[in-house]
């Protein structure tokens, strides 16, 4: 996931918005670590679950990375209230599907799917090395 993220990150520019969707443990933050590496921003990149958004400045004179977690947010308005600089950064929003409308005219929706180890599908049953299916879609509002 990190190598894929590096490839994605190397092609992103200021103003790009990425929405990451996938179940708990799918690799959203791992993919974001790779994107951060590709952008050349200062880390470490960790899940922003409890702080909601973290900003990582560029180490190479490029775009900073804003990494947000919208799991506990109800709408784009709440995300907008965080005063995230979507015009001056690359912004990644985990759990952001349906919550970024109005922030940008276009964005990339990245969905990560992974198999689970049992019929119940609990997070404890996940195989960390199991392959994932990653679907990247450009969304035009």
The set of residues, in sequence order, having a beta carbon less than 8 Å from that of 118 and lying 6+ positions away, is: 125
Is the Cα torsion angle 3, 4, 10, 15 positive or negative in sign? negative
What is the torsion angle, in degrees rounded to the nearest 10, for the CA atoms of residue 123, residue 18, residue 7 and residue 85?
A: -120
Rounded Cα gap, residues 56 and 77, in angstroms:
23
Q: In the prediction, which pLDDT does 53 show?
A: 80
Rounded Cα gap, residues 82 and 68, in angstroms:
10
Q: What is the pLDDT of residues 100-140, one digit of tens each?
A: 878 889 999 999 998 765 545 555 556 667 789 999 999 99
Cβ(12)–Cβ(90) below 8 Å: yes
pTM: 0.84
Domain boundaries, the chain: 2-140
| 44: preceding bond cis by omega (within 30 degrees) | yes
Q: What is the pLDDT of residues 74-97, one digit of tens each?
A: 665 566 666 778 899 999 999 889
Beta-carbon count within 10 A of 68 CB: 25
**Burial track 112-137 (b if 16+ CB lie within 10 A, e otherwise):** bebebeeeeeeeeebeeeeebebeee
Tokens standing for 4?
């894929």
2-140: CATH number = 3.40.50.300
């Amino acid at each position: 996931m990190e190598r894929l993220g590096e490839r994605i990150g190397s092609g992103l520019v200021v103003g790009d918005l990425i929405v990451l969707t996938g179940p708990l443990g799918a690799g959203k933050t791992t993919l974001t670590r790779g994107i951060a590496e590709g952008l050349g921003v200062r880390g470490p990149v960790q899940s922003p679950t409890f702080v909601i958004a973290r900003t990582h400045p560029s180490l190479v004179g490029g775009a900073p990375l804003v990494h947000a977690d919208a799991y506990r947010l109800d709408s784009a308005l709440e995300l907008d209230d965080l005063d995230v600089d979507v015009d001056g950064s690359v912004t990644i929003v985990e759990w952001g599907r349906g919550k970024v409308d109005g922030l940008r005219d276009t964005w990339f929706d990245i969905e990560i799917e992974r198999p689970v180890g049992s019929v119940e599908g609990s997070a404890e049953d996940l195989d960390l090395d199991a392959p994932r299916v990653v679907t990247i879609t450009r969304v035009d509002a």
